[in-house]
Amino acid sequence: MKINQINDFIYEISSEENKNMLVPARFYAHPSQIETLKKDDSLKQLTNVATLPGIVGYSLAMPDIHQGYGFPIGGVAAFDADEGIISPGGVGYDINCGIRLNLTNWNKVEIQKILGSIVNDIYNSIPLGAGKGSLIKINKNEFEKLVTEGIDWAIKNGFATEKEKEHIEDKGKLIVKDLNGVSDKAIERGISEIGSLGSGNHFIEIGYVSEIFDKELGSNLGLFKNQVVVWIHTGSRGYGHQICSDFAKEYQTVSKKYGIQLVDRGLACAPFKSKEGQEYYYSMNSAANFAFVNRQLIAHKIMEILENYSKKVKPLKFELFYDLAHNIAKLETHIVKGKKKQLVVHRKGATRSFPAKYIKGEFANIGQPVLVPGSMGTSSYILLGSENSLELSFGSSCHGAGRVKSRSQAKSEIDPRKLKESLEREGIIIKTSSLSSLSEEAPDAYKDVETVVEVVNNLRITKPLAKLKPLAVIKG
DNA sequence: ATGTAC
């Protein structure tokens, strides 16, 4: 495969590479990442996406790109809403896998003595791992309301506030016209897991603000140095997983029906405006609503736990900084060749990063927050959508460090006991129900988050706001 | 990612 370097951080693969490609592939990366990128199928997958009907501009990827199911993770693909497709493989199995950052008014010194106890309380209160139950019990009728109304359901039921809603991407509610595409099986799995973390790379982290790059803006947004924060990384659990499975299977024949040639079964898709396309779209949106509520319920529970320690620290303020989706397809208006166009923007392991003047609400004139969690034990970043993001990536940035080792490779090469010990030597508390799965999330299994962030900031897709470090990590 | 295999 011929990779053309356009400048320091922009690389392209020509559409001549493969006769089925409709547009070139383009990825944003650091020169030091290129050799590693050639080792898995991620670039091949990136060119495969360029063969799908209605793709606009480029098949794109962020510097945290790695191999996924059909579409690469870290990929961004925009399709013409009238003539293009929607694909479950372009979103991923964990629909609205996303990340949330809550701020407290406590500093890290104040919680030193009670941190271990807080970690135990969280560990014992939130269902962690696969199939470990839910935080609330609701019936099918109520569940259907929950996935249709998203955060509005959480507000009605006392789990969220109007203020929090303003700090959630799309206000925590994506349009669901009907649930015709949602199987009973998906609903059963969802009911039993609402308010649960899951496993894999999902985590709860207690961290602190270590550096604020724009001091005035940081202060205006409620950040201060050494501030204790809570990260929650999870998604739509078995509900989204079942929806993705159902459609990935059904779409094998649906793609054929519409005469779409697939170079990989993971690219299965339907025309966005078709009956099948719309069914997936609303089902996917309902899973996104599930995930927004899921993270909200977990955050609400953690707030209750922290409040119990108020007497030992000081009265708690627990505020949502931002909650976002990094596995989702969104119907958005973009300028294509000087004209407004409705596009279905698939972000699979990519974060929306609209610049200051294109967003409304709390972050208008500031830029959309881009939360970039590093791998376990490493730094994380708060970035803000910046001026080149629409032009370079349909308003998208990176979502994390990105894997360099497959789960199985990491498991066979990294001793989880030694890993836990080395993280604890650095002063980070690690609490997990599955020591063996820790290896899969080892820092060595991931790219360097600093390099990833350097690329998107240099391209002015985003700009840096703050850097954060971990104090404790709780995992399934 | 996942009641971690239709």
Statement: the CB of A189 is under 7 Å from strand B? yes
Q: Which two tokens stand for residue A290?
A: 């599930």
Domain harbouring A10, CATH code: 3.90.1860.10
Which nucleotide across the nucleic acid strands is nearest to A441, CA versus C1'?
B1
Task: Confirm whether A437 is domain-assigned.
Answer: no
pLDDT value at residue A382? 98
pLDDT at A324: 98
- Looking at this protein, which amino acid is placed at residue A473? V
Lookup result for tokens 């459609």: A247
CA angle A384, A347, A100 (to 5 degrees): 50
Please, how many CA atoms are within 13 Å of residue A150, restricted to the half-sphere of its CB? Answer: 26
How many domains in chain A? Answer: 1
pLDDT in tens, A422-446: 999 999 999 998 898 899 999 999 9
A200 contact to strand B (CB, 7 A limit): yes
Which of the residues A233, A241, A300, A399 is marked catalytic?
A399
Protein residue with the closest CA to the C1' atom of nucleotide B3: A131
> Residue A425: inside a domain, yes or no?
no
- Nucleotides on chain B that have an atom closer than 7 A to a protein CB are 1-4, 6
Is A326 among the catalytic positions? no
> Structural domain of residue A149, as residue ranges?
4-404+446-475
| A340 inside domain | yes
A286 domain-assigned: yes
Q: pTM for the full model?
A: 0.98
Give me the residues of chain A with pLDDT under 70, please. none
The answer to whether A90 CB sits below 7 Å from nucleic acid chain B is: no
What pLDDT is attached to residue A458? Answer: 98
Q: What's chain A's length in residues? A: 476
Residue A409 within any structural domain of the chain: no
Cβ of A265 near strand B (distance < 7 A): no
pLDDT tens, position by position, A129-183: 988 999 999 999 999 999 999 999 999 999 999 999 999 999 999 999 999 999 9
**Residue A301 CB: number of other CB atoms within 10 A?**
19
Q: Quick check: is A429 in a domain?
A: no
- CA(A93)–C1'(B1) in Å? 6
Question: What does the pLDDT look like over A342-380, one tens digit per residue?
Answer: 999 999 999 999 999 999 989 999 999 999 999 999 999
SS (H, E, C) chain A: CCCEEEECCEEEECHHHCCCCCCCEEEECCHHHHHHHCCCCHHHHHHHHCCCCCECCCEEEEEEEECCCCCCEEEEEEEECCCCEECHHHCCCCCCCEEEEEEEEEECCCCCCCHHHHHHHHHHHCCCECCCCCCCCCCHHHHHHHHHHCHHHHHHCCCCCHHHHCCEHHHHCCCCCCCCCCCHHHHHHHHCCCCCCECCCCEEEEEEEEEECCHHHHHHCCCCCCEEEEEEEECCHHHHHHHHHHHHHHHHHHHHHCCCCCCCHHHCCEECCCHHHHHHHHHHHHHHHHHHHHHHHHHHHHHHHHHCCHHHCCCCCEEEEEEEECEEEEEEEEEECCEEEEEEEEEECCEECCCHHHCCHHHCCCCCEEEECCCCCCCEEEEEECCCHHHHHCCEECCCCCECCCHHHHHHHCCHHHHHHHHHHCCCEEEECCHHHHHHHCHHHECCHHHHHHHHHHCCCEEEEEEEEEEEEEEC
Q: Residue A419: inside a domain, yes or no?
A: no
Establish whether the CB of A131 is closer than 7 Å to any nucleic acid atom in strand B: yes
What was the pLDDT predicted at A436? Answer: 86
Does residue A426 form part of some domain? no
